[in-house]
Amino acid sequence: MQSGPREILTPFRSIPLEVPEGMKHNEFFNSTENLNDLVNNNGLLMNSENLLLYRKALGHSTEFDCSIIYNTSKTILNPLGRPVRRTQVADNVKQVWNRMNQIIMAYMLEQYPDPDEALVLAGEASLDATWPLTSPGVPSIRMLHNHFIVFPKADLRNSKLADPNNPNLTDGGQHSLFQAYMRDVYREFFGKALNLEILKPASEADARIGLTGYPQGLPSWEIQGGVEALKNVHFWKEYDEVLKGFIDFYRTFFSQVSTHNAPMLHDIYFPEEVESVLLFNNDFMKTAKKVRDHCIVDAKYANAIRWQPAFKQLIYRNDAGKLIVTISQNSIGNAITELLGVVVNRTPDAELYARHEPALIRRLLEVRRRLIEADLGDGIATAYWPKE
């Protein structure tokens, strides 16, 4: 079978939201009112740390699809002041968050043990206000949240090939700014900055999903010990180290794009490596100049720059059954599934969604039961399921 990105059709039932007159949808999505709807119609579990498990109403997959959001909508009313990455979350919240991640990942891998039958992934994308300054509102729900998704590979095999030039597919591969011009220094920086024991570098061949041919050209690491390693707190610390390294690289690069020969930022995680590997690397600096020069003469290009760290980081299972961690620049706001070559085309079809809904809810309620059993929250009742 031909390898290539796949475009799948995913049905959904329209969400009963009334956006106030004069508000854009992306502005309303940041409001407390929208989060009330998320809790009341799709909420599965909530805990005292304000972590909300919910069904994805506009989902990626009807097989298994849910998210956890750090619901600070009522405690931090300023959308620009809310945590949008794990490095901004208090340690006690992060501990609970990581335990929830571990239990949900273990459930998915238990229910879908064969890598030939299911693509299993979990991860998150940054939601910083990094869109063009003149765009209305800020993108999506500006709060840290992640995704847990299973795609049956039979569905992917039966789906049409996606256009490889789709801009949502060009972010993380050979077309990416980081990969096209700074691939060597990008990898060198990760290698020198990160002191990892559970995560070990994975080859591109190991990281790639054969069916889709993705991800392409990204730094990737194998989780030694597989799903059992997710029970180890040190794994999650290393997972955060990958993110910190990426943030340092991204912020340092765009500081040089913004200002010629800018001084090192004061709040860098790995200052020695930033100084020796990045700021003294000719490829790094000349690429910053290339982007800066382009910004000066091309208003449309400059307006599309996301100046603050924008990323997608995920854990997924490769074709050999190994768990892989990877991270990508998220310069154009593409979906996390597209990092693995899956383009989701959501289509309104309440009848078709209803056929999948009972099995989907059964799986989500079983995950909820396990989380409650582990003292990770209390159930939420909706029109679709009881509290317990």
Q: 387, 379 in Cβ contact below 8 A? A: yes
Average pLDDT for 154-160: 96
pLDDT for res 173: 46
Amino acid at 254: F
Across 128-147, average pLDDT: 64
Does position 139 have pLDDT exceeding 80, yes or no? Answer: no
Q: Is the pLDDT at 55 greater than 90, yes or no?
A: yes
- Domain residue ranges in the chain: 6-379
Residue-wise burial string across 255-283, b where 16 or more C-beta atoms lie within 10 A, e elsewhere: bbbeeeeeeeeeebbbeebbeebbbebee
Residue 107 has pLDDT above 50, yes or no: yes
Tell me what the pLDDT averaged over the chain comes to.
Answer: 89
Residue pLDDT, tens place only, 336-359? 898 899 999 999 999 999 999 999
What pLDDT is recorded for position 26? 64
Which tens digits make up the pLDDT trace of 57-87? 888 999 999 999 998 888 888 877 888 889 9
Choose between 370 and 139: higher pLDDT. Answer: 370
Angle at 331 between CA 328 and CA 332, to 5 degrees: 115
- pLDDT per residue over 30-54, tens digit each? 667 777 778 888 999 999 999 999 9
The CA R_g of the chain, rounded to the nearest whole Å, is: 21
Please, which pLDDT band fits residue 176 given cuts at 50, 70 and 90? low
Instruction: Report pLDDT digits (tens) over 286-334.
Output: 999 999 999 999 988 887 777 888 888 999 999 999 999 999 876 555 6
Name the token pair of 351. Answer: 């009848």
Q: 7 has which bridge partners?
A: 160, 343
Q: Residue 334: name the closest of 197, 200, 162 by CA.
A: 162
What is the Cα–Cα distance from 8 to 26, expressed in whole angstroms?
24
The C-alpha atoms of residue 388 and residue 385 are separated, in whole angstroms, by: 8
